[in-house]
């Protein structure tokens, strides 16, 4: 068999096959960028803004990978078997990489650009034990944003309100503390029984952002009032995470206090 005969029977990729390979490797590179985004921030290699830019690059790269892969798949009959598989992987992976940031951008567009949620916007609970950690991380200030933040919260999350209980403050504090200790993912829980205050933190799964929670129990008539506040350490918006955290705690607390969840 001559060299010419060997070339003739070897599958030729052509431009369509090259497009399939290009889409696949674009998707792989975009996935690598998405993987580096949280790693660099968690390891202290760069500011989280750099991570967000990498996520943006990953999204656009994924979109381009999906389009290129789709274009190559339109010429299915001309694609070698391996290139068909790579094009399919490029389309699937590229679509996912493009969809995830779009999904979060869609969420952010529907929510106010705030990251401080509390059941008492007039007199929010104050943080104390997490202040050194926030300072070390160069976190956003803990001072409440005032009437404008309160207005935006009321419009977006009108259901977030304090919990009122017939229990005396000391008993309500024990229930509030037990609830905090049972919350999934809550860490570094500290309490001040004398002041009837509780603090905790929680880290996000992907980027490892830390949010802080403070709970305050105070006398209210013959019973008690429990207020909660959840505040991010970084960024401006929070995709509704702090509100969801406050809601989850309030629901768990009401269940422990045998109160209607509404």
Which residue from 129, 134, 136 is spatially nearest to 116, judged by alpha carbons? 134
pLDDT of residue 157: 95
Find the angle CA(245)-CA(243)-CA(175) to the nearest 5 degrees.
45
At 258, list the tokens: 């045998």
At 12, list the tokens: 């030729």
The mean pLDDT value of the chain amounts to: 91
Question: Could you give the CA distance from residue 207 to residue 202 in angstroms, rounded to a whole number?
Answer: 12
Rounded to two decimals, the pTM is 0.81
Average pLDDT over residues 206-216: 93
With left for phi above 0 and alpha for psi between -120 and 50, is residue 166 left, alpha or beta? alpha
Which residue from 262, 257, 248, 238 is spatially nearest to 104, judged by alpha carbons? 238
Tens of pLDDT, residues 67-86: 999 999 998 888 888 999 99
pLDDT of residue 2: 52
pLDDT of residue 108: 80
Average pLDDT over residues 130-149: 94
**Residue 86: strand pairing partners:** none
Could you tell me if 160 and 243 are in contact, meaning their C-beta atoms sit under 8 angstroms apart? Answer: yes
Dihedral pair phi/psi, residue 117, rounded to 5°: -120, 130
């Amino acid at each position: 068999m001559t060299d010419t005969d060997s070339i003739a029977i070897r599958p030729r990729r052509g431009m369509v096959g090259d497009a399939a390979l290009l889409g696949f490797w674009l998707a792989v590179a975009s996935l690598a960028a998405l993987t580096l985004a949280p790693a660099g921030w968690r390891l202290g290699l760069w500011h989280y803004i750099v991570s967000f830019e990498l996520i943006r690059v990953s999204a656009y790269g994924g979109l381009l990978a999906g389009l290129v892969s789709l274009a190559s798949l339109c010429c299915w009959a001309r694609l070698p078997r391996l290139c068909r598989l790579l094009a399919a992987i490029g389309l699937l992976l590229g679509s996912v990489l493009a969809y995830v940031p779009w999904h979060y951008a869609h969420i952010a567009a529907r929510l106010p650009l705030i990251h401080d949620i509390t059941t008492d916007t007039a007199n929010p609970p104050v943080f104390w034990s997490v202040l050194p950690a926030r300072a070390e991380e160069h976190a956003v200030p803990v001072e409440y944003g005032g009437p404008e933040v309160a207005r935006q919260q009321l419009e977006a999350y009108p259901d977030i309100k304090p919990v009122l209980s017939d229990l005396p403050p000391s008993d309500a504090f024990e229930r509030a503390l037990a609830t905090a200790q049972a919350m999934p993912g809550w860490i570094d829980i500290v309490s001040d029984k004398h002041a009837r205050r509780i603090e905790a933190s929680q880290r996000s799964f992907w980027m490892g952002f830390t949010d802080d929670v403070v709970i305050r129990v105070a006398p209210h008539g013959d019973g008690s009032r429990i207020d909660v506040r959840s505040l991010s350490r970084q960024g401006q918006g929070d995709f509704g995470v702090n509100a969801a955290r406050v809601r989850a705690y309030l629901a768990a607390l009401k269940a422990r206090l045998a109160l209607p969840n509404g």
